[in-house]
């Protein structure tokens, strides 16, 4: 016979077992949750996009964070939800970020804060324009906002600079001179040119600010096929880059004293343009290929299937145009549009043919300056082996230094995007070694050959 005491004891035992079971289940759930959060499947994600073109351009904006030309949270917000290949969503995200930064600058009284907001607006407006078709009617307004924000940003920050207009036939080229500090007198002038899609203004963020901080004077410029020269004058790019580079240098030296050395740095396709100019101008004492761009045709044709050349060589141009229209790869679509615009080419194969003139093999032996070659092991534009080919062709250079950045270093991308302090350390160490600070401030002006 069961007593009341036994029933209570039995009930208490059931409650304890229930509580124990509940506790075990809750513990197991908490453990499972914790394990799921720290699971090997939950790893860091170093990429914003799987598509390389959209990934690269996002990191390009992020690379300007260090000199206050961007903010990582704003950059992440700008590409949130953007599908690779959707140029309209890309434009909208970046333009909104530029508008917010510009508006914030208007509400900010601190000069440093105002200047930083404006430089960020410049970066975001430049990015907003990037994937639009060349004839998109929104390009001019975005370009104007980009330039206005940049100039206002430098003014707010108190960065001394001088815009120059250089006669060039019936057109004119543009340059910005940053005189730097008094220390610049005994250092070489750092002359900087961009490439296939660069703007003269972004060169301040990519290398100019770092050079000024180290006591160098900087001269950035845009030539045919670049920046406002392309957008406002329609002047397309030319392979004989010694002509525009020489015109800029002639105009600069006509109104400024000869510096103690001239080092010409070319960024991206500028890795062809700068060495090409140095091959024909003895005033250039040092040349930096950032990154290497030894054979433009090899770069441009590396991903073109052989049967496409067969179709072209056998007169099937209509078939080629039809197949090109079916290509939806964002990077390829942009490269074709930009190539036709920058080079003044009529179709994709005309772009490839134009790049046959952008080869350094025939002129590299003329370079007698000190040369620095930079390359990224994972460069998606330029095969890294071009660095070795370029180095081997520099048979008369005063010295040749070559640096290839690995993926592990963070500098494996084209132009080491995402790792500006890494490649700049290599650049400025090389400059200090090859061009030590001179006791005399200037040297006699040497005429161009």
Give the domain ranges of the chain.
51-157, 160-295+358-449, 299-356
Predicted local distance difference test score (pLDDT) of residue 3: 52
Least confident span in 36-45, 171-180, 377-386: 36-45
Report pLDDT for 10: 44
Q: What is the pLDDT of residues 261-285, one digit of tens each?
A: 999 999 999 999 999 999 999 999 9
Average pLDDT of the residues in 8-20: 52
Q: What is the pLDDT of residues 227-262, one digit of tens each?
A: 999 999 999 999 999 999 999 999 999 999 999 999
Is the pLDDT at 59 greater than 90? The verdict is no
Higher pLDDT pick, 10 / 418: 418
Nearest-Å Rg of the Cα atoms of the chain is: 28
Angle, CA of 235, 238 and 243, to the nearest 5°: 100
Give 334-356 pLDDT, tens digit per residue.
888 999 999 999 888 888 899 99
State yes or no: pLDDT of 402 exceeds 80.
yes
State which fold the 160-295+358-449 domain adopts.
Rossmann fold (3.40.50)
Report d(CA 228, CA 75) in Å as an integer.
25
CA distances to 25, 214, 258, 430 from 424, in Å = 56, 11, 25, 10
Q: Which residue has the higher pLDDT, 329 or 369?
A: 369
Q: In what order do the strands lie in the sheet containing 218-222?
A: 162-168, 171-178, 218-222, 189-193, 262-267, 286-290, 370-376, 399-405
Q: What is the pLDDT of residue 440?
A: 55
Tokens 């105002």 correspond to what residue?
114
Number of residues in the chain: 449
Residue 13 has pLDDT above 50, yes or no: yes
pLDDT of residue 136: 95
Q: What is the model's pLDDT at position 385?
A: 92
Q: Is the peptide bond before 396 cis (omega within 30 degrees of 0)?
A: no
Asked whether residue 193 carries a pLDDT value surpassing 70, the answer given is: yes
pLDDT of residue 335: 86
Of the chain, the percentage scoring pLDDT greater than 90 comes to 63
Q: Which CATH architecture has domain 51-157?
A: Up-down Bundle (1.20)
Domain 51-157 and domain 160-295+358-449, same fold? Reply is no
Confidence check: pLDDT of 128 > 90: yes
**pLDDT tops 50 at residue 390:** yes
**Under 8 Å CB-to-CB from 387, ≥6 apart: which residues?**
292, 294, 373, 375, 402, 404
Give the bridge partners for 218, in sequence order.
Answer: 178, 190
Higher-confidence residue: 387 or 15? 387
Mean pLDDT for the stretch of residues 407-423 = 90
Q: Is 99 exposed, middle or buried (0-12, 13-18, 19+ CB in 10 A)?
A: middle
Confidence at 173, pLDDT banded by 50, 70, 90? very high
Average pLDDT over the chain, rounded to whole? 86
**What is residue 439's predicted lDDT score, i.e. its pLDDT?**
66
pLDDT at position 268? 94
């Amino acid at each position: 016979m069961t007593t009341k005491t036994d029933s209570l004891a039995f009930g208490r035992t059931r409650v304890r077992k229930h509580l124990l079971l509940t506790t075990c289940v809750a513990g197991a759930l908490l453990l499972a949750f914790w394990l799921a959060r720290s699971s090997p499947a939950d790893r860091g994600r170093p990429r914003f996009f799987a598509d390389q073109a959209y990934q690269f351009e996002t990191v390009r904006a992020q690379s300007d964070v260090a000199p206050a030309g961007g903010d990582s949270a704003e950059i992440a917000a700008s590409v949130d939800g953007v599908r690779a290949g959707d140029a309209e969503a890309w434009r909208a995200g970046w333009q909104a970020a530029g508008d917010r930064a510009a508006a914030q600058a208007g509400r900010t009284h601190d000069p440093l804060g105002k200047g930083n907001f404006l430089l960020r607006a410049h970066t975001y407006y430049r990015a907003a324009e990037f994937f639009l078709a060349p004839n998109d009617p929104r390009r001019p307004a975005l370009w104007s906002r980009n330039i206005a924000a940049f100039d206002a940003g430098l003014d707010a920050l108190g960065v001394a600079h001088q815009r120059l207009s250089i006669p060039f036939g019936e057109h004119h080229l543009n340059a910005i001179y940053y005189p730097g500090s008094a220390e610049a007198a005994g250092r070489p002038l750092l002359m900087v040119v961009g490439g296939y899609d660069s703007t003269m203004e972004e060169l301040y963020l990519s290398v100019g600010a770092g050079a000024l901080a180290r006591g160098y004077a900087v001269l950035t410029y845009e030539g045919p096929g670049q920046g406002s020269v392309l957008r406002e004058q329609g002047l397309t790019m030319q392979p004989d880059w010694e002509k525009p580079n020489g015109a800029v240098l002639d105009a600069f030296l006509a109104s400024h004293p000869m510096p103690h050395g001239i080092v010409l740095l070319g960024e991206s396709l500028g890795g062809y343009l700068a060495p090409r100019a140095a091959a024909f101008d003895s005033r250039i004492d040092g040349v930096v290929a950032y990154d290497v761009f030894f054979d433009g045709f090899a770069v441009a044709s590396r991903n073109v299937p052989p049967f496409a050349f067969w179709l072209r060589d056998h007169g099937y141009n209509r078939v080629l145009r039809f197949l090109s229209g079916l290509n939806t790869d964002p990077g390829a679509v942009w490269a074709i549009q930009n190539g036709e615009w920058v080079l003044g080419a009529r179709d994709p194969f005309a772009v490839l043919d134009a790049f046959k003139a952008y080869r350094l093999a025939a002129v590299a032996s003329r370079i007698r300056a000190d040369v620095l070659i930079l390359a990224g092991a994972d460069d998606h534009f330029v095969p890294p082996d071009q660095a070795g080919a370029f180095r081997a062709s520099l048979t008369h250079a005063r010295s040749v230094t070559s640096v290839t950045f690995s993926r592990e270093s963070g500098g494996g991308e084209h132009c080491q995007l995402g790792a500006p302090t890494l490649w700049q350390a290599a650049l400025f160490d090389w400059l200090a070694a090859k061009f030590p600070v001179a006791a005399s401030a200037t040297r006699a002006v040497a005429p161009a050959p």
